[in-house]
């Protein structure tokens, strides 16, 4: 921690250090890559009929490319996160970028479904290798007072990429065929490579200190009490969040007779809410840590706000109220995601990428459970309200003990916390038993 300037002999007060700022320019490469990974997530959705006709298969068969991408990402991300924690951020981000680029280039020239599935698998492997490493890199290198804002902007750009993927894919497919979308991703990924090479540096001594790679270490996250508790909250909240949202369009159609075009507004609200929530949570978290109060208290707050908004969206008296509730719903979702991402990659820096990758895998698992539960209800609005509201409240209640475990650093320990390479301004007492 830099020493303060000593007072001069004439009694002039010591000079104050300038407020910390996020070094935005040093993250342009990773921010661009996060935006592209988010874009690819939903890029194929509007292209399925065109792709199916082009390669001579049914739409259902073409949808296997989406399944391949999500399954490969969910199953491999934790193991690839461990690779990042062992070998460092720079090599894994660069390797992931190369795989992501090759996957999109292969998709652009694929002549049959088999090649296209392989291309999507390569793209998923690249995203699973680079994504968790990027979150760990940001948390490790951003100044502690603005770490939340640095992560928050990354989350906002990732969310923006997801929302823009559908209209961007449709536009490019109408202009130059479905392959143009993948060529665009290839070109933009290639453009990010020089930035990544210039901006990401290896942390001195990391490789020398690292333990040998053992894939059993992937599950170390689940033996850590704080990380395990956080991921359980993530599972419950994402089951509420995306499980309920899956049936929201059907609920609004049944209640208000909204057309497909009117329901399309939901995507805009989801993206805007998520991006705004991500940015706001980063700033709120940084200020909470600066005051010494810690940001863990916001975890149950965002859970309860999300649950209330989900119920209001499903059961609100009119469509305008439902749309407003959706905006609040995904504001809370984006805020929760940023807060948890910052917590996971900062609580145990040596497990930063592994924790982040488990966060993604847990999100997918929670979504699957939420969708399954919501689908058991006879009416979509009831399922949306019960799953979105009930599981979000359960997540908030589950998070309350976590707030106690992430107590603010006491004054006598502040110097140690400030000098740490990463952290969220909290400490876990040894009595918590990490395990």
Q: Tell me the pLDDT tens digit for each residue of 172-186.
A: 777 888 899 899 999
Report residue 397's pLDDT band, with 50, 70 and 90 as the boundaries.
very high
pLDDT exceeds cutoff 80 at 410: no
pLDDT the model gives residue 407 = 62
State the Cα angle at 423 between 361 and 365, rounded to 5°: 10
**Measured between alpha carbons, how far is 89 from 382 in angstroms, rounded to an integer?**
45
Element (H, E) at 426: strand 426-427
pLDDT exceeds cutoff 60 at 409: no
CB atoms within 10 A of CB 258: 19
Element (H, E) at 75: helix 64-87
pLDDT the model gives residue 414 = 41
**Measured between alpha carbons, how far is 171 from 7 in angstroms, rounded to an integer?**
62
Q: Give 426's strand partners.
A: 408
Task: Name the phi and psi angles at 427, rounded to 5.
Answer: -135, 150
Per DSSP, the three-state class of 83 is helix
CB atoms within 10 A of CB 169: 25
Report residue 406's pLDDT band, with 50, 70 and 90 as the boundaries.
confident
**Measured between alpha carbons, how far is 134 from 140 in angstroms, rounded to an integer?**
10
Q: Would you say 316 and 258 are in contact if contact means Cβ atoms under 8 Å apart?
A: no
**Residue range 88-143, pLDDT digits in tens:** 889 999 999 999 999 999 999 998 999 999 999 999 999 999 988 898 888 888 88
* Beta-carbon contacts of residue 408 (< 8 Å; ≥ 6 apart): 292, 293, 294, 425, 426, 427
**Measured between alpha carbons, how far is 369 from 5 in angstroms, rounded to an integer?**
56
Least confident stretch, 41-50, 124-133, 425-434? 425-434
pLDDT exceeds cutoff 70 at 18: no
Per DSSP, the three-state class of 268 is helix
**Measured between alpha carbons, how far is 391 from 317 in angstroms, rounded to an integer?**
22
Letter string b/e over residues 400-413, b meaning 16 or more CB atoms within 10 A of that residue's CB: eebbebbebbeeee
Least confident stretch, 160-174, 273-287, 357-371, 384-398? 160-174
Q: Where are the beta strands (DSSP E) in 84-229?
A: none
Task: Name the phi and psi angles at 408, rounded to 5.
Answer: -60, 150
Tokens matching residue 254 = 């049944």
CA 422 to chain centre: 19
């Amino acid at each position: 921690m830099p020493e303060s300037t000593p007072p001069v002999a004439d009694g002039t007060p010591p000079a104050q250090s300038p407020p910390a700022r996020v070094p935005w320019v040093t993250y342009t490469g990773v921010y661009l890559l996060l935006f592209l990974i988010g874009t690819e997530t939903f890029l194929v959705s509007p292209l399925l009929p065109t792709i199916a006709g082009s390669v001579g298969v049914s739409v259902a068969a073409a949808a296997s490319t989406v399944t391949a991408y999500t399954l490969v990402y969910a199953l491999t991300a934790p193991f690839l996160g461990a690779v990042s924690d062992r070998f460092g951020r720079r090599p894994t981000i660069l390797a992931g970028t190369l795989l992501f680029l090759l996957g999109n280039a292969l998709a652009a020239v694929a002549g049959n479904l088999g090649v296209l599935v392989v291309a999507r698998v390569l793209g998923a492997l690249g995203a699973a290798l680079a994504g968790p490493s990027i979150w760990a890199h940001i948390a490790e290198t951003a100044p502690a007072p603005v770490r939340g804002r640095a992560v928050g902007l990354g989350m906002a750009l990732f969310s923006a990429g997801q929302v823009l993927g559908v209209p961007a894919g449709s536009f490019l497919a109408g202009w130059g065929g479905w392959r143009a979308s993948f060529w665009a991703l290839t070109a933009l990924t290639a453009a990010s490579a020089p930035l990544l090479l210039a901006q990401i540096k290896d942390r001195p001594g990391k490789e020398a200190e690292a333990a040998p790679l053992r894939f059993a270490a992937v599950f170390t996250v689940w033996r850590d009490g704080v990380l395990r508790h956080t991921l359980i909250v993530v599972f419950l909240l994402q089951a509420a969040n995306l499980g309920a949202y899956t049936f929201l369009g059907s609920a609004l159609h049944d209640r208000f007779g909204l057309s497909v075009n009117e329901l399309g507004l939901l995507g805009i609200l989801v993206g805007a809410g998520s991006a705004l929530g991500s940015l706001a949570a980063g700033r709120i978290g940084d200020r909470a840590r600066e005051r010494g109060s810690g940001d863990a208290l916001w975890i149950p707050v965002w859970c309860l706000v999300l649950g209330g908004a989900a119920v209001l969206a499903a059961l609100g008296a009119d469509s305008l109220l439902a749309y407003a509730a959706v905006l609040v719903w995904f504001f809370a979702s984006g805020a929760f995601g940023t807060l948890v991402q910052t917590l996971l990659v900062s609580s145990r820096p040596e497990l930063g990428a592994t924790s982040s990758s488990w966060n993604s895998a847990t999100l997918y698992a929670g979504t699957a459970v939420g969708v399954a539960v919501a689908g058991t209800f006879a009416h979509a609005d009831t399922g949306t309200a019960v799953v979105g509201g009930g599981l979000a409240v359960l997540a908030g209640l589950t998070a309350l003990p976590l707030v106690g475990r992430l107590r603010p650093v006491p004054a006598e320990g502040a110097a140690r916390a400030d000098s740490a390479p990463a952290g969220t301004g909290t400490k876990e007492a040894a009595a918590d038993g990490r395990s």
